[in-house]
Amino acid sequence: MTRAALIEHRPWLLASLVAAISYYVARDMPIPGVQLALLKGLGVALLAVYCLVRAPGSDGRLIAAVMAFGAIGDIGIEFSFIAGGGAFFVAHLIAVALYLRNRRPQPSGSQRLAALALLLATPLVSWLLSRDLAVTLYASGLGAMAATAWLSRFGRYRVGTGAVLFVVSDWLIFSRMGAFDLAPLPDLLIWPLYYFGQFLIATGVVQTLRRHAPR
């Protein structure tokens, strides 16, 4: 899609990309904390609007809610790790419900194994990185989200990949809490991996819902 077509037909996506890039550039500038947090949340909040406008039916409202709670988490985590994590946990639960409503009819054995690996490895690696029980509990929801995304009818190369990028982004956050020093990777990669993961999830779900919507 050309830039002109993106502006005309997907203005919320374009605005979301601009907000996300602006936050990445501005995060080390002397900007008041509240304003910077709002800019951070704007990128995924605009993805929520895109989902609400473009995706039909109750599934469209569910993916919009996933993105909305993600945006709340983006803002909340700047002030309270627990509050932000709680919002993301709610987003993961809504996403699990969405993906279970849209299960792939006959997943292959390799797809089932990949989903099982995501379900089990996500909290396990999170524990090894953080040594924190609350983080591990949160990561169980994160792993369930990624596993059910992988087994859903939504495209794995978009929604499944987006979920995996979300997991890796959170692992980089958790690495700051334990004995594994991965610097400078967390500072460089957490936001791009997280945002691009959310972008892939939002656009992948919307594309599938629109393709199969009644004409």
Q: What is the per-residue pLDDT for 56?
A: 85
Q: What is the per-residue pLDDT for 30?
A: 83
Q: What is the per-residue pLDDT for 9?
A: 53
Say what the pTM is. Answer: 0.93
Q: What is the per-residue pLDDT for 198?
A: 98
Q: How many CB atoms lie within 10 A of CB 46?
A: 23
Q: How many CB atoms lie within 10 A of CB 34?
A: 11
pLDDT in tens, 130-154: 999 999 999 999 999 999 999 999 9
Where the chain has pLDDT below 50, the residues are none
Q: What is the per-residue pLDDT for 201?
A: 98
CA distance 42 to 97: 24
Q: What is the per-residue pLDDT for 142?
A: 98
